[in-house]
Amino acid sequence: MKITDIQIHLVKLPARRDHNWASKMATPIGHHAILELTTDEGIVGWGEAPAGGTWGGAHMRYYGETPETVRHVVLDHLLPAIQGLDPLDISTIHRRMDQVIKGHPYAKAAVDIACYDAAGKALGVPVSSLLGGRHREGIEVAHSLGIMDLDRCFAEAEEAVAEGARTIKCKTGLDPERDVALVRGLRERLGAEVKIRVDGNEGYSSVNEAVDVTLRQEEYDILLCEQPVAGAEGLARVASRISSPVMADESAWTVHDILELDKLDAAACISLYVTKPGGLYRARQVGEVAGHLGIYTDIGGSIETAIGNAANLHLGTAMANAVLPSVCPVSQPEGREGPRMAGVYYLDDLVTEPFRFVDGVVMAPTGPGLGIEVDREKIARYTV
């Protein structure tokens, strides 16, 4: 089987509401690059790059990509380098991509996901099998509250919990008093059984501010404190002064980042993405290194469509240490049965069948490849 061509579809899904965090307070979610890879055997592989211009690492270590930059990099650089290769030869494909352009992990991730999808379809096995097999059948949903008024946060959290969510993730980092009041109010309303995690997205102005806010939030029992400040060294200083586990996200992209975090004792856990390392192939490596160092993970992302979300779920089921509740959406096309709030960020999606949501867990697809059927009419409808 050989890769013959790639098409890029730039889409914009209708969002259920604005979803903002400390480093992104303007750009709408859902404007993503969808990659369609074709082969000489007629097998099609699908990939996704939920690239955002405001998303990157500290101190220019990583930088923002956009759907438009993804299209340019894939079509003008990556496709000529991998055309004619077998999607099963994923190590060779990554080597070729890295030889022709440095960085651009979201563009490379879209190609990588499509290769895994095509390879799984050719072999008749799900992507999770290509990653080593499943440790679980799905991922517990952490319903994410974007930065918005407290009353809206409380109402949305209560509805999500009523629909089955067992973990609430709070976006924070811009207003310390609001962030403490949010956690206090959620605990009062949701009770002791619901898990609450906080994510500052590097938003706090100093280590001291991050520590002060987190210590006050800890009075109401938080599961973890995610990336309150920028950089691994800052995380290490926060981690030494609070009780809650610190999670690295913006500081955890590559294997080298994980080694740095471990050396500094900066994070007990990381947010493992398909996209940040450049695809499933590299993400598996990052997750395995973290596991060997005793670091556990969630499965992070950028509120993907069902295509990227399927890749996230296959990775999450295949990683033994991916034990944390994660913001993996409950992807579902408009009008289909499923939750209306819990894990739902879009009013429609690009697949024909909804993802199953059972007892607070979004189940990974089980069919060959990504295990999804992409709805081409929806691709056309939401192309921009």
The letter for the amino acid at 190 is L
CB 226 within 8 A of CB 247: yes
Q: Which H, E and C letters describe 110-168, residue by residue? A: HHHHHHHHHHHHHHCCEHHHHCCCCCCCEEEEEEEECCCCHHHHHHHHHHHHHCCCCEE
pLDDT score at 25: 80
DSSP state, residue 210? H
pLDDT score at 23: 85
Residues whose CB falls within 8 Å of the CB of residue 236, separated by 6 or more in sequence, listed in order: 264, 265, 266
Count of residues in the chain? 384
Here the tokens at position 384 are 């921009």
pLDDT score at 141: 98
| Number of neighbouring beta carbons within 10 Å of residue 91 | 9
Average pLDDT in the chain: 97
Ranges in the chain, pLDDT < 70: none
What is the SS3 assignment for 15? strand
CB 348 within 8 A of CB 378: yes
Per DSSP, the chain holds a count of helices (H) and strands (E) of: 13, 13
pLDDT score at 140: 98
What is the SS3 assignment for 36? strand
| Number of neighbouring beta carbons within 10 Å of residue 17 | 13
pLDDT score at 21: 84
pLDDT score at 149: 95
The Cα–Cα gap between 301 and 217 comes to 24
Helices assigned H by DSSP within the chain: 67-73, 79-82, 90-100, 105-123, 127-130, 150-162, 176-190, 207-218, 232-239, 255-264, 280-292, 306-318, 376-382
Which domains does the chain show, CATH number per domain?
Answer: 3-124+376-382 (3.30.390.10), 129-363 (3.20.20.120)
CB 1 within 8 A of CB 88: yes
pLDDT score at 26: 80
